[in-house]
Amino acid sequence: MRSHLRRPGARDARRTAASATLNAQRSHGREAANAPLPQQRLGNRAMQRMLYSGVSEPDGGAAESTFKTKATSGGLSGLTLNVTFSVSGTPADSLQAVQTFMGTRRSDGVQVGTYSWQWKGKTWDAFVDGGNNSPYVTLGGNPPAHATKPYYLTPTEVAAQVNFTKDTGTINVFDRPGAVAMHEEAHFETAIVAVNYNGTKQDKVLKVFKWGWLNMGTDPTVGKYWPNSEIAGAKSGISVMGAVSPEFANIVKHDYPKYRYS
């Protein structure tokens, strides 16, 4: 989640907090990540499978497809996501990531994002991570990662984390979402996309992976609701899929109604 702890060297927020209260809001859970956390197990397997309905590839994407995209290293360790995908045979301008978040309302009552709904007696909030409506912007005081599109990587991060020429390359996605300590349920879905695929002026989703937690960031959803994909012969802590879920599509459409992808 872009509003929290980030890769060392990433750009600093443009604004500083005007008060201790505002500063605590902008940190969006950094202090809470160090506090004692409840261990009670929450959630419902059937509910989660309905909420997230992508097609799973438990081997991390070994199945053959038109677009040769595969997770090659890394995964999720603790609260740190650091995963690399390789892409070949995919003509495009570059590679990017689009990441959505949906979770129960924060424990302090603060709404994150502008997309909310009630379900099963709980209030849920959602946003495109790093986007216009994300806490990275609204609470953190940063500009969005991209001015007009729902991309997760900033231009500086693209320069450091994407290596792509013509139709072949790699992309690294990094996150450390400390604010999950303020959500009973926190679910992420990340799509690797080819930018302006084959000159179509639309992006193409190449691979998708799910990850998240129950119980204030203490109980991973992968391995519980989703297969734990193997990357480089080891369990990765993420679940690699072949397609985005309807929830991902709805969140992106809400925050970026003009964005087109296939």
- Structure confidence by residue, pLDDT tens digits, 167-225: 999 999 999 999 999 999 999 999 999 999 999 999 999 999 999 999 999 999 999 99
Averaged pLDDT for residues 120-134: 97
Contact 28, 135 (CB under 8 A): yes
Q: What is the pLDDT of residues 154-167, one digit of tens each?
A: 999 999 999 999 99
CA-wise closest residue to 107 among 179, 4, 45, 27: 179
The confidence score (pLDDT) of residue 1 equals 81
Q: What is the pLDDT of residues 77-125, one digit of tens each?
A: 999 999 999 999 999 999 999 999 999 999 999 999 999 999 989 999 9
CA-wise closest residue to 167 among 240, 89, 234: 89
The CA distance from 26 to 247, in Å, is: 26
Q: What is the pLDDT of residues 48-81, one digit of tens each?
A: 333 333 333 333 333 344 559 999 999 999 999 9
Strands (DSSP E) contained in 162-238 are 162-165, 168-175, 185-195, 204-214, 219-220, 230-231, 234-235
Given a cut of 90, is residue 128 above it in pLDDT? Answer: yes
The CA distance from 104 to 102, in Å, is: 7
Angle at 188 between CA 7 and CA 171, to 5 degrees: 50
Higher pLDDT: 32 or 151? It is: 151
Q: State what percent of residues in the chain have pLDDT above 90.
A: 74
The confidence score (pLDDT) of residue 66 equals 55
Within 10 angstroms of residue 262's Cβ, the number of other Cβ atoms is 10
Given a cut of 80, is residue 47 above it in pLDDT? Answer: no
Q: What is the pLDDT of residues 222-260, one digit of tens each?
A: 999 999 999 999 999 999 999 999 999 999 999 999 999
CA-wise closest residue to 225 among 83, 35, 56, 40: 56
Distance of CA 64 to the CA centre of its chain: 25
124 exposed, middle or buried (CB, 10 Å; 0-12, 13-18, 19+)? Answer: buried
Tokens linked to 191: 């799509």
The CA distance from 58 to 73, in Å, is: 15
The confidence score (pLDDT) of residue 24 equals 32
Sequence-separated (6 or more) residues with CB below 8 Å from residue 88:
68, 69, 167, 168
For residue 49, the surrounding DSSP H or E stretch is helix 45-51
Q: What pTM, to 2 d.p., does this model score?
A: 0.79
Distance of CA 155 to the CA centre of its chain: 17
Indicate the residue type of 59.
D
